[in-house]
């Protein structure tokens, strides 16, 4: 069974020819959205959606994650985001768009939290794309 998520608002942290990272307010709660892989030839974009517990203000989260970007730290060094319930989705992140979502494995979740910011440099790297290829293919099979 496929599950979906609808994006109501987007607070962008990184943008490069499309959404790269930020906070997403959705019909199922708030998430940190991070581009994991981008293949220019196919325009496939694989994103991680990391659930937020709702106790922090969106602007506070954006400010904290922006500081990770400037300090080139990993998400594991942030107080926000839960390793429980991390999701994956394919497509372009846009306001008022609905996506199919899929649970990330424990191994994928650990890799997501170890990513160094800025994430755009890693998401277009051929080696990184190869590493995320299996997750992207799994998402495509569910569509």
pLDDT digits (tens, 9 = 90+) for 35-92: 888 877 776 788 999 998 776 688 888 888 888 777 777 777 777 767 788 999 988 8
Give the pLDDT confidence of 103-128 residue by residue, as tens digits: 998 888 888 888 776 666 667 777 77
The share of the chain scoring above pLDDT 70, in percent, equals 83
* Residue 32 contacts residue 81 (beta carbons within 8 Å): yes
Bridging pattern class, strands 98-103 and 3-15: antiparallel
Which pLDDT score is estimated for 2?
63
* Residue 93 contacts residue 18 (beta carbons within 8 Å): yes
12 lies in some domain: yes
22 lies in some domain: yes
21 lies in some domain: yes
40 lies in some domain: yes
Give the pLDDT confidence of 19-38 residue by residue, as tens digits: 888 899 999 999 999 988 88
136 lies in some domain: no
119 lies in some domain: yes
143 lies in some domain: no
Domain that holds residue 71: 3-131
Looking at the structure of the chain, the number of domains it has is 1
141 lies in some domain: no
50's tokens: 């990391």
Distance CA 117, CA 75 (A): 8
- Read off the pTM: 0.83
């Amino acid at each position: 069974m496929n599950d979906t998520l609808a994006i109501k608002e987007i607070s962008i942290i990184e943008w490069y020819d499309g959404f790269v990272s930020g906070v997403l307010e959705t019909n199922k709660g708030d998430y940190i959205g991070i581009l994991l892989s981008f293949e220019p030839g196919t325009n496939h974009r694989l994103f991680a959606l990391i659930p937020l517990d709702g106790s922090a203000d969106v602007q506070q989260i954006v400010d904290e994650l922006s500081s990770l970007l400037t300090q080139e730290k990993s998400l594991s060094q942030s107080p926000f985001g839960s390793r429980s319930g991390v999701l994956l989705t394919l497509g372009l992140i846009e306001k008022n768009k609905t996506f199919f979502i899929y649970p990330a494995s424990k191994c994928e979740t650990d890799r997501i939290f170890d990513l160094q910011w800025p994430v755009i440099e890693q998401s277009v790297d051929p080696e990184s794309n190869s590493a995320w290829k299996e997750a992207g293919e799994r998402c495509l099979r569910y569509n």
